[in-house]
Structure formats: structure tokens, C-alpha cells
Amino acid sequence: MSLPSFGVGTFRLTGQTVIDSVRNALELGYRAIDTAQIYGNEAEVGQAIAESGVPRDELFITTKIWVDNHAADRLLPSLRESLAKLRTDHVDLLLIHWPAPGSAVALREYMTALAEAKTLGLTRQIGVSNFNIELTRQAIAVVGQGQIATNQIELSPYLQNPALTAFLQQEGIAVTSYMTLAYGKVLKDPVLAAIADKHQATVAQVALAWALQLGYAVIPSSTKRENLASNLLARELQLDADDMAAIAALERNGREVDPPGLAPAWD
């Protein structure tokens, strides 16, 4: 089962805002939806999906296990709570959201529990998020080669993570880019603006097309229907070699998400 290359994210969206965003996304043709336990919006995402009328088998739903639920006796019960909120009997992709802070729970313990969720049919695929190369290696050693569908990591024109992305692609693990627009910072970039003008596109479309052309999946979010629609058009935008080279030169290790106590030693 392949990973969709384009989905809608729900980070920082709650209440009616996330219901409206997911509803609009589904009406516009999105079929992959990304949420997480810590977002506090799984019930609202589930409501929006239920009210949309889109058949479950057309959807690809991702959620993520929070660090409080890493322990073997918490992971599966917490997942079942998530499934109840999402109004489904399974998710399509289940991720470990962050590695255990200070290795409070052994990686082997939570990766084994994650694999059990797949065996039980509670998720179709499993993966990780915010794992560096070494932690990804350890995860592969626990669950086996070919079992980790993706590593969802922060990537943008300002943070291109070449060592980690090369390792993941070498291992056959899909790269999912979050924060592709760097909290909107890239929208003001003159290099990206020039590329956008050249293609009669938006800067957001250029950044998303850049990630897609590198083979990454993207999950941008928006509270505005017109932006959700505009973002989808990135799939049709073809950047040329000069464009890609110009974007490659924007690398500045511009990390936006680096929570103390959670973040691993980045590659």
C-alpha cells in the first residue's frame, strides 16, 4: 500500500477550525489526512470525515502516538482511544511522533508495540517521525527491513536535511515533509518569488512542488479554502533544473521545530 504524496495537515488546528479545514479539503479532493494524539483534534477530524460522506476506503488517515503513550501497556490502549475519536476501526498509517525523551521508554519496547498494532489490524502501515539516522536504524532493527513506511520530518527550502533524506531513500523509507513552508517564512523569499513569477504560480506551490519533485510526500495545512485549493495545484507544477538548483542553494539549516527534551541529536 503506497503512501499518498499529498495530504492535508491539521497541526495547530482545533475545534470548528479543524472541522472546516478537513471538510473543505475533502470537498476539494484531498483524500489523505494527517493528525496526531497531541494535536487534540482527532475527534473533530473524525467528525469532519464522518460528515463528509467520503467512503472510508477512499481515505488515508494518519495519526501519531504521543510520548506519554510509548510504554507497551499504553500504546495500544491509546491507539484504540484515537480510533474511537476518529470513528474508524483502523488508521492507514501510525507513527511514533517523537523518540522517547531521554529514552524513558526503550525504543525496542515502543517499536514492538507499534508493530503489534499492525499485526492486530489497527493500522495498515507503521512509521516514525522526527527520528534521526541512528534512531531510524535502531527502529529498522526492531521491526524489520521494509516495515517502516515513512519518517515524517521537518523539511523546507531552508532545511533540506540531505544526510537523513539520502539515508531514508537508500533504505526504501518514504520521506514525508512537514513544515514545508517553514511557518510561512519561505513565502517572502525573493528566490522563490522569482521562480513563482516565472511559472505564474504561488510561492507556496513552488515550495511544495520542490518537495514533490524530490520524491517527498507533503502535508500542508490551511484554514482557508482558497489556499487548500491552490496548494493542490503544486502537483501540476514542473520546476526545471535551474529552479531546483536555485532552491538547493537556499539551505541554511533553518529548523523551526526543535523542542528541548524531545528532539534527538539532529544529523
Task: Give the pLDDT confidence of 135-182 residue by residue, as tens digits.
Answer: 999 999 999 999 999 999 999 999 999 999 999 999 999 999 999 999
Q: What is the pLDDT of residue 2?
A: 87
39, 110, 158, 178: which is the annotated catalytic residue? 39
* The pLDDT of residue 103 is above 80: no
Least confident of 68-77, 98-107, 252-261: 98-107
Average pLDDT along the chain: 97
pTM of the entire predicted model:
0.97
- Segment 126-140 shows an average pLDDT of 98
Please name the residues in contact with 51: beta carbons below 8 A apart, sequence gap of 6 or more: 23
- Segment 15-29 shows an average pLDDT of 98
Q: Which three cell numbers stand for residue 156?
A: 523546507
pLDDT in tens, 31-77: 999 999 999 999 999 999 999 999 999 999 999 999 999 999 999 99
Q: What are the residues facing 123 on neighbouring strands?
A: 91
Angle formed by the axes of helices 133-143 and 107-119, to 10°? 50
Q: What are the residues facing 33 on neighbouring strands?
A: 8, 61
String of b and e for 201-220 (b: at least 16 CB within 10 Å)? bbbbbbbbbbbbbbebbbbb
Assess whether 39 carries a catalytic annotation. Answer: yes
Q: What is the pLDDT of residue 100?
A: 81
Reference 208, options 9, 12, 3, 2; nearest CA is: 9
Within its chain, how far is the Cα of 192 from the centroid?
23
Question: How far apart, in whole angstroms, are the C-alpha atoms of residue 220 and residue 141?
Answer: 31
Within its chain, how far is the Cα of 264 from the centroid?
18
H/E element holding 95?
Answer: strand 91-96
Given pLDDT bands bounded at 50, 70 and 90, which one contains residue 1? low
Please name the residues in contact with 141: beta carbons below 8 A apart, sequence gap of 6 or more: none
User: Identity (one letter) of the amino acid at 231?
Assistant: N
- Name the CA dihedral angle for 139, 174, 46, 183, rounded to a multiple of 10 degrees: 100
Q: What are the residues facing 244 on neighbouring strands?
A: none
Task: Report H helices in the chain.
Answer: 15-28, 42-52, 72-86, 107-119, 133-143, 162-170, 190-199, 203-213, 225-232, 241-248
- Name the CA dihedral angle for 186, 95, 4, 256, rounded to a multiple of 10 degrees: 0
CA distances from 121 to 14, 50, 196 (A): 28, 21, 44
Domain 8-248, CATH 3.20.20.100 — does that match?
yes
pLDDT in tens, 193-252: 999 999 999 999 999 999 999 999 999 999 999 999 999 999 999 999 999 999 999 999
For the chain, give every domain's residue range: 8-248
